[in-house]
Amino acid sequence: MKFLTVVVIVSLTAAFSMSAAETPGAPNAATPPQTESGGTQPMPQGPSPEMIAQFHQWFAVECNNRAWDLAVKTPRTPDESREMLDAAYAASFHWAKIGKPVNIARADMALAHVWAVLGNAEQATKYATQCLEFFQTNPGEEWDLAFAHAEMAYAAFVRGDKEAHRKHHAEADRLGQAMKSLEDRSVFMEEFSRIPKP
């Protein structure tokens, strides 16, 4: 799924001042900036809450996409594996700031996948379970539950649980084949093909 990227450029103004001891007659560094007429200039303000929300959304999308891109990269260097994990956690952090519960569940999905790719069964199972439990009881897109079962299958494979691997792999396949959207089905089946089969 492609996301609309909103690029926001912020110009920050840095004020430099010298102490009165360094420059005779100069105002103390703690004195607010002065205008030519002697009035006080307003102190520089930080970004607005709306702008901060845009920052969070932009980084959430970019980090999520980066994590998934690195997950399919072969070979992947140790530095790229570290970046993949960092990106997944960064996406989760930013979605937690401005996203809805469904966004956080999808961040768990990415974390489950990344940990499975790295061979960590405990963490993969933790995040895959959180993701599946959410989409079993909350609405989402038709591909959400399919991906949740796919990540459960991947986590089960990593920990060597053959029964759970077969169960979740079969359910993910069933849900994927039943998708009404041809585009969603194609995207899912391409990613699902990378999950080890029972």
pLDDT 10s digits, 51-62:
999 999 999 999
185 and 142 in contact (C-beta within 8 Å)? no
Tell me the CATH number for domain 57-192. Answer: 1.25.40.10
pLDDT tens track for 119-137: 999 999 999 999 999 999 9
pLDDT score of 142 more than 90 = yes
In whole angstroms, give the CA distance from residue 91 to residue 119.
20
Give pLDDT, residue 45: 81
Domain ranges within the chain, ordered by starting residue: 57-192
Give Cβ neighbours of residue 190 (< 8 Å, ≥ 6 apart): none
pLDDT score of 100 more than 80 = yes
Give pLDDT, residue 9: 28
Give the predicted TM-score (pTM) of the model.
0.78
Tokens 């100069």 appear where?
Answer: 26
In whole angstroms, give the CA distance from residue 39 to residue 56.
37
Give pLDDT, residue 1: 44
Q: Which amino acid is at 106?
A: R
Closest to 8 in 3D by CA, of 43, 50, 44: 50
Annotate the chain with three-state secondary structure.
CCCCCCCCCCCCCCCCCCCCCCCCCCCCCCCCCECCCCCECCCCCCCCHHHHHHHHHHHHHHHHHHHHHHHCCCCCCHHHHHHHHHHHHHHHHHHHHHCCHHHHHHHHHHHHHHHHHCCCHHHHHHHHHHHHHHHHHCCCCHHHHHHHHHHHHHHHHHHCCHHHHHHHHHHHHHHHHCCCCHHHHHHHHHHHCCCCCC
Q: Which pLDDT band holds residue 77 (cuts at 50, 70, 90)?
A: very high
Please, is 45 exposed, middle or buried when counting C-beta atoms within 10 Å of its C-beta (0-12, 13-18, 19+)?
A: exposed
